[in-house]
């Protein structure tokens, strides 16, 4: 498996920490297509409060993002790293450090040979989460995966005990319509945005924090 790991933040001193595995575009930041310019980063309303609540509740924060624009020749890996680095910096400045960012640059049908592959890291396959679990010492059974595609939420099925949530932000509204039409499988839970999703999850995970209940 050719997994590109851009892990950031502190390494864990203990094993088995719970984590929130989060899609990037359409979940944490606005989906502007294949984003190659860090200046285009725009946080979805409520996302910072949601991430802060997860951190306060003891969850590690890990982004897992497909970046097939690399395989398609629309952006470079350097572009992806610049955007990820700037995003991590903005979150750190807000007091919400990330523990890791993992991205997949591949596509099964497009691109040069080094990127055109049926890999294990491209979601909905679980390679990126498996790698993060190994790298950071995480406990999938106490974790959650959240994104704006059904394939994000259904990643949870590969890890007993993990919860999966689909958002209606980004591509989520279209995905929700397809669910209602019977074209896509319904995940465990569907929420309007990341803030609402985290409220739902923490209420069931025993988290003591309430999203937005503390000053920034």
* Whether residue 25 lies in the annotated active site: yes
Residue with tokens 């990820």: 84
Alpha helices in the chain (DSSP H): 47-56, 77-93, 127-136, 150-153, 172-180, 194-205
CA proximity to 67, closest of 39, 32, 99: 32
Confirm if 10 and 97 have CB atoms less than 8 A apart.
yes
Rounded Cα–Cα distance for residues 90 and 192 (Å): 24
CA proximity to 43, closest of 96, 7, 3: 96
Rounded Cα–Cα distance for residues 190 and 5 (Å): 29
* Whether residue 193 lies in the annotated active site: no
Could you say which of 5, 23, 139, 209 is catalytic?
A: 23
Instruction: Determine the 3-state secondary structure of 128 from DSSP.
Output: helix
CA proximity to 101, closest of 84, 123, 89, 115: 84
CA proximity to 155, closest of 182, 133, 176: 133
Could you say which of 5, 25, 31, 37 is catalytic?
A: 25
- Which residues form the catalytic set? 23, 25
């Amino acid at each position: 498996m050719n997994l590109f790991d851009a892990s950031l933040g502190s390494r864990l001193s203990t094993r088995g920490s719970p984590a929130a595995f989060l899609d990037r575009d359409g979940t944490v930041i606005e989906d502007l297509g294949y984003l190659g310019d860090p200046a285009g980063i725009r946080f979805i309303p409520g996302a910072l409060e949601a991430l802060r609540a997860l951190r306060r509740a003891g969850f590690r924060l890990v982004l897992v993002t497909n970046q097939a624009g690399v395989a398609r020749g629309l952006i470079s890996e350097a572009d992806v790293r610049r955007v990820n680095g700037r995003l991590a910096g903005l979150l750190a400045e807000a007091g919400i450090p990330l523990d890791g960012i993992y991205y997949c640059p591949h596509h099964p049908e497009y691109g040069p040979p080094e990127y055109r592959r049926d890999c294990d890291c491209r979601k909905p396959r679980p390679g990126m989460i498996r790698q993060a679990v190994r790298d950071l010492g995480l406990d999938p059974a106490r974790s959650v995966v959240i994104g704006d595609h059904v394939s994000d939420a259904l990643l949870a099925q590969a890890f007993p005990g993990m919860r999966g949530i689909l958002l209606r932000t980004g591509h989520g509204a279209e995905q929700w319509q397809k669910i209602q039409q019977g074209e896509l499988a319904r995940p465990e839970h569907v929420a309007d945005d990341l803030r609402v999703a985290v409220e739902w999850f923490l209420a069931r995970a025993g988290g003591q924090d309430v999203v937005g209940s503390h000053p920034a």
